[in-house]
Chains A and B, each alone.
Chain A
Amino acid sequence: MNLEDILPKEFLEPNIRLYSFILLIVIGLAALIAFPVKEYAGYIDPFYSPTLLIIPIIGLFRLTCYAFRKDYNRHLFKHPLQCPALPSADSSARAYTGETSLFMKIENYHRYFMYVALAVLPFFYYDLFVSLTYSGIFVLRLGSILMGLDVVLLTLYVFSCHSIRNLVGGRNDCYGCGLSAKMRKDVYKSQSFLNKHHRTFAWLSLLSIIAVDLFIRALTAGIGIDFVIMHVVL
């Protein structure tokens, strides 16, 4: 079997954007492993929630996500770079496989990565709880607010997923044909509303994870950017 049969043709083209993106991921992962900052003063780094080993699967959840597909297909693979016909980096001379190549068929398994993401989500809520109560009293600090924002954005991102939209009603043609018709219809409509903003949540949640990670790393490095907003003795 040739390499061309497995990898999408786009991988084999001279593509500086793609290679720099892969390099960025490798550097990021190397930094996480070489300079681990698992926990600081009750703050648990989001990359370790619950374990660093989960990152590849969460990474695949994002890489197979419909929101990110648009971005990398346009800006990495340039299929096409932009909608206007000209100038276009795409051409009929370039091979194109879409998601039909053996490698890209993984995009069809997005739902399984989504199930894992759903299972991981409660750990972020637990981390938030720990950050608020780690000293035995309820302490609200800047870091906890950042972690709270992060967990809300992650929840919105996961629950606005297109696979969840299919799961909660997208696959149904008839809401009046079964039990709880109104409830099913309402859930589908609410999820569809979230789904419209899926791309926004995808980016914001990615940024918030990195922001929390950098915040904790800054504290570990001795930069005093955290402060207590309020505390309540339990």
Chain B
Amino acid sequence: MNVCIKIFRHDPASDEQGRFVEYDVPFEEGMSVLDAVNYVSNYIDTSLSVRWNCKAARCGSCAAEIDNIPKLMCKTKITSDSVTVGPMRAFPLVKDLVTDITSNYDKLRSIKPFTPGKAQSGVWRMNEDDVVRSQEFRKCIECYLCMDVCHVMRLHNTNYVGPRHVIKAASIDMHPLDSLDRSVELKEKHGLGYCNVTKCCQDVCPEKIQITDNAIIPEKERAADAIYDPIIRLIRKIRGVK
């Protein structure tokens, strides 16, 4: 049995616009989309550009839009006789399925780094529960599927930094020994207010990180503490809490 795989082909250096090209690939039990794309790349058209690395959903390199839903190619099994694969359209295209995700690294650098407060007798002691909360966000494999699915990133030209970078900020903000609060900066400089909580980023995350519930909404609430709630602001000032 063959599978018809439609792959987006576009070389900006020579083509005016891209198109979907159909390839017939022999189906094997348990075949992933990446297996099929690699078959095309190895045996049918070696000019096909595709980025992949670990084949185990750990590196995040093979992110693509499979039947219009952002997914990892290596983690997506082929379950029908036809499948469509395109590049992540939130990022500039390099060629075929490869996109330029450099902008994400610039955004990451714009988030203030971990800034520890006063160490306790030279030793950092942390409650396990506090660390677990922050650790959830460190499971991120930087596949940028959340950035791709976010309609603000894809369609609207705003200063929103995107879900991946909000969880980066949240992972440091919620660290028990960090001394800074990044929520106001997220709100005022990084466009957190543009997120309208439709939770698509959370739905596509291959690591099942609760991006909206555990990072974006808590950061929005922390920003509301600082900007819109004078009582909380006063209490925190008196208590000397960040």
Give chain A's interface residues, CB within 8 Å of chain B: 66, 69-70, 73-74, 77, 79-80, 83-86, 88, 90-92, 94, 96-100, 105, 108-111, 162-163, 165-166, 170-171, 173-177, 181, 185, 195-196
Number of A-B contacts (CB under 8 A): 123
13 example contacts (A-B, Cβ-Cβ < 8 A) are as follows A70-B197, A74-B198, A79-B151, A79-B196, A83-B198, A85-B68, A85-B69, A162-B221, A163-B221, A170-B218, A171-B218, A173-B242, A185-B127
In the bound complex, do residue A98 and residue B196 qualify as a contact, i.e. CB atoms below 8 Å apart?
yes
* Given A83-B203, A111-B221, 11 other A-B residues pairs in contact with their CB atoms under 8 A: A70-B198, A96-B152, A96-B155, A96-B158, A98-B158, A99-B193, A108-B220, A111-B229, A173-B178, A176-B125, A196-B213
* Given A162-B221, A174-B130, A96:B213 Cβ within 8 A: no
Which listed residue (A86, A94, A162, A175) contacts B127, Cβ 8 A? A175
In the bound complex, do residue B149 and residue A171 qualify as a contact, i.e. CB atoms below 8 Å apart?
no
Give chain B's interface residues, CB within 8 Å of chain A: 65, 67-70, 89, 125-127, 129-130, 149, 151-152, 154-158, 160, 173-178, 191, 193-200, 203-204, 213, 217-218, 220-225, 227-229, 232, 242
In the bound complex, do residue B68 and residue A86 qualify as a contact, i.e. CB atoms below 8 Å apart?
yes
Closest to B134 in A: A173
Which listed residue (B89, B154, B221) contacts A166, Cβ 8 A? B221
Give the residues in chain B near A88, CB-CB below 8 Å.
Answer: 151
Centre residue among B152, B175, B224 by max chain A CB count within 10 A: B224
Nearest 8 pairs between A and B by C-beta? A166-B221, A176-B127, A98-B194, A83-B200, A174-B176, A80-B151, A96-B156, A100-B193
